Amino acid sequence: MGKQKIHVAVILMACLIVMSGAMVDCSSKTGRGSNDKYFQVTRIIDGDTFYIDDGTEKGCKVRLAGIDAPESRKTDTEDVQYYSKESTLYLARLTLGRFVRLEYDVQHYDRYGRTVAYVFLRDGTFVNAELIKQGCAVVMTVPPNVKYADLFIKQQKNARKRKAGLWGEIIE
């Protein structure tokens, strides 16, 4: 009986190690909050999600913190949203093939296991804020990740006043 308990405990421990390894993906490789590590953007998913080359075969999926871009794909619950193509193209023009630095807030992952980060180009461009400023995304802060909430709200107010991007008139 004692050997069975030890065997079960070993299996459980192995499962925990494997599961925690899956959540470490790019944060461990990027050095969590490291201000000097840059990674090349390899693929754009939509206006707020992309992949970086973190040295793994698949790469690391990054979701931009504090913002939400229009959905570019039809799902079970949502249709393709207005300004989604433009938002995705803007993120691609801004980042694809370029090197970015990830900055983390309190939580490093969202409920889907994606790395959540504030993203900066080498020239200092704050990608998350730039998307809001250009009207390609809206503010969506998820506590406790609220580090730049005030800046994002200010950028969104200005974008709305200027009728930038998705705040412009819809012509059908």
Q: pLDDT digit string (tens) for 70-83? A: 987 777 777 767 78
Extract the runs of DSSP E, i.e. beta strands, from 28-164.
39-46, 49-52, 60-64, 67-68, 99-103, 115-121, 138-139
Rounded-to-integer distance, Cα 56 and Cα 51, Å: 11
Average pLDDT, the chain: 83
CATH of 30-167, one of 2.60.120.260, 3.30.465.10, 2.40.160.20, 2.40.50.90: 2.40.50.90
More confident residue, 73 or 164: 164
More confident residue, 73 or 10: 73
Would you give the DSSP letter of residue 115?
Answer: E
What is the per-residue pLDDT across 105-149, written as a single tens digit (0 to 9) for each? 999 999 989 999 999 999 999 999 999 999 999 999 999 999 999
What is the per-residue pLDDT across 21-69, written as a single tens digit (0 to 9) for each? 334 446 544 444 455 799 999 999 999 999 999 999 999 999 999 999 9
Residues marked active site are found at: 63, 71, 114
Tell me if residue 21 falls in helix, strand or coil: helix
pLDDT over 90, % of the chain: 67
Q: Shortest CA distance to 171 belongs to which of 131, 160, 163?
A: 163
What is the per-residue pLDDT across 80-101, written as a single tens digit (0 to 9) for each? 677 889 999 999 999 999 999 9
| 89 token code pair | 């193209």
**pLDDT for position 4:** 53
Q: Name residue, tokens 């059908």.
A: 172
> For the chain, how long is the longest CA-to-CA vector?
73
| 124 token code pair | 């200092």
